[in-house]
Amino acid sequence: MDVKKIGYLSFGHYRDIPGSHTPTARDALLQAIQLAQEAERVGVDGAFLRVHHFAPQHSAPFPLLAAMAQATERIELGTGVIDLRYENPLYMAEEAAITDLISGGRLQLGISRGSPEPALRGWEAFGYRTPEGMSVAEMAQQKAHVFREAIRGAGVVQADPQMTGHDGALAIDPLSPGLDERLWWGSGTRASARWVGEQGFNLQSSTLLTEDTGESFDALQAEQIAIYKDAWRQAGHSGEPQVSVSRSIIPLVTDEDHRYFGVRAQAESRDQVGHLEGGLARFGRSYIGEPEKLVEELAADAAVAAADYVLVTVPNQLGVGYNARLLESIVTRVAPDLGWR
């Protein structure tokens, strides 16, 4: 049995176009809370939010995650990922700790350098300039170090003796014990996966790799995972490294499924290669078909086999009812035959 956790990843799209159930930001936010409740009901393990800036999608995740926590009891709540270029690591540490305390320790926090975006150096508009001689990836890694040390309770500022009676270092407050063990780093290359393993973060890998070797997406991603786990072991970290992968999985069960996705099944059944940020990138295929067909195809996916958590990307604009049924079909008609349940 290859028992895995099953989660979903929502981009939180909203737009007032024909067929959209999320014409406004308010609709997308309220439905995100409702979908977490429905996903918990049908047995899904995790509800994850994709974070984007300067786009009609989820942006500031912590208020929404806290609301989702209050509306649920069991399901894990996470991000995939928060772009650290845009963040103050100490303020984010406070927000993350508070959200984790509200949830009862259910936060699974994905962070990284972030993905390509519509804004040109958008983080600078938020007040964060890349230090001279440092890449944006290095800036994000530096912020990650500050953030992780802060949530662990490290002193981050000297106390004012007149106010505190001592001149030692002060930590952020509150703290949420164990949150530092539930940090995930979003990696798009084999080189960054090695860094993730060395640092002792859990690994998040999505449906996009920002490199291409000519191998299939799942084979390249499985190589990335193997490099990560080897780096983790060589670094001597305790515990077991955890890996999540994202997949587009659409079981065609109802007439509605066929109407929305049937014609896309053939067109999206293969990887795609394109140019992104000046280099080649490989995009993973979609899994669309009858449950029996999906079981056969997913069983042959090398990266899925190596993962501990499978995050299903959901078409949130189709509404809570549709996505709850989609997730229930995966939990009841696909996962058991794969041994995930």
Average pLDDT over residues 251-279: 81
Average pLDDT over residues 193-203: 98
Residue 205 DSSP SS3: strand
pLDDT band, very low/low/confident/very high, at 283 (cuts 50, 70, 90): confident
Average pLDDT over residues 12-31: 97
Instruction: List Cα–Cα distances, 21 to 32, 38, 73, 88, 230, in angstroms.
Output: 12, 16, 26, 33, 44
Looking at the whole model, is its pTM more than 0.75? yes
Q: How many C-beta neighbours within 10 Å does residue 67 have? A: 17
Average pLDDT over residues 195-222: 91
Strands (DSSP E) along the chain, which ranges?
A: 5-10, 46-49, 76-79, 82-83, 107-112, 157-158, 169-170, 183-186, 202-205, 208-209, 243-251, 272-276, 279-283, 286-289, 309-313
Q: Which residues contact 263 (CB under 8 A, 6 or more apart)?
A: none
Tens digits of residue pLDDT in 245-256:
999 999 999 999
Q: Which residue has the higher pLDDT, 144 or 274?
A: 144
Tens digits of residue pLDDT in 39-78:
999 999 999 999 999 999 999 999 999 999 999 999 999 9
Given a cut of 60, is residue 1 above it in pLDDT?
Answer: no
Q: Which residue has the higher pLDDT, 319 or 217?
A: 319
pLDDT (0 to 100) of residue 334: 98
